[in-house]
Every structure is written in structure tokens, then in C-alpha cells.
Amino acid sequence: MGLDSCLYGTRYFVNRPSRDAAGELIVKAEVYELFCWRSHWNFHGYIVNTFAAGTDMEQEITLDQEQLEQLIGVVTANQLPLSADRRAFPRERTESETAQDVTALREALAWLRVEEDGVMRTVYYRASW
């Protein structure tokens, strides 16, 4: 077992009814897997401690634009603290891994910023082990 974590994006169609004229269900939301990490305990610990008050229950942790920008800054500056989690094998990320992390976060932020009529977008982080 290990830590698997992902950023997801959700598009909510706010003005759609739940059913069409024939009574058929209508899609009200779409979920996209924006990026996934394997065993990135430092990143996980930072998100849980900073944006979920230290509560690690494999819950969805919603990240707004400001929080994604904060993450980009911390990851870019290589300032993620080493995880103190007893399940973790903390290590420094390679330059290539860090670049990939920053790219993923920037893409998630860009995705979140897209404006569409009748659509609300959210980004959330979720991990499991």
C-alpha cells in the first residue's frame, strides 16, 4: 500500500433541471481527474495541515484559486516540509518531479479560472492509502 492522491476538477451545471421533459435524468456535474501523484507525502501533509486543519480522513479538500497559487509558490520554492506522517517515507523531490508538480498545479489553476455561462467550477484534492 501507499499514498495515492489526485486533483479533481468538477463542472457543475447550475441552471439545468434534474430531468428532461421525458423524465430522463440530466447530467448535473462532470468530474475530471486533473493530475495524480503516487507517494508524495510532503505534498499530502502540506495540503492536509494547511487546508484541512490537520484532519486526514481521505476527505475531499476543496482548493480555491488563492490556495492553488499558494501551493504553486511553496512547491516552486521547494518549501514543502518533510512529512512527519508515520506512514511516510519522506524525501526531497527531484527537480524533474518538482517541475511536473508545478505544471500540474498551474494547469489546475488555469482549468479553475475558465468561465462558462451556467457553470461553476471547483478543484479538490483527495488522497487514499
Q: Please say whether the beta carbons of 68 and 123 come within 8 A.
A: yes
DSSP β-bridge partners for residue 125? 7, 61
pLDDT digits (tens, 9 = 90+) for 38-71: 989 999 999 999 999 999 999 999 999 999 999 9
Q: What does pTM read for this prediction?
A: 0.91
* Residues in the chain where the model's pLDDT stays below 70: 1, 86, 90
How far apart are the two ends of the chain, measured CA to CA in Å?
A: 6
* pLDDT in the model for residue 93: 87
Nearest to 80 by CA among 68, 90, 69, 88: 90
Number of H helices, E strands in the chain: 3, 4
* pLDDT in the model for residue 58: 93
Going from N- to C-terminal start, the domains of the chain cover 4-128
**CATH number for domain 4-128, candidates 3.30.70, 1.10.3470, 2.40.160, 1.10.357:** 3.30.70
Residues 109, 74: Cα–Cα separation, whole Å: 15
* pLDDT in the model for residue 92: 82
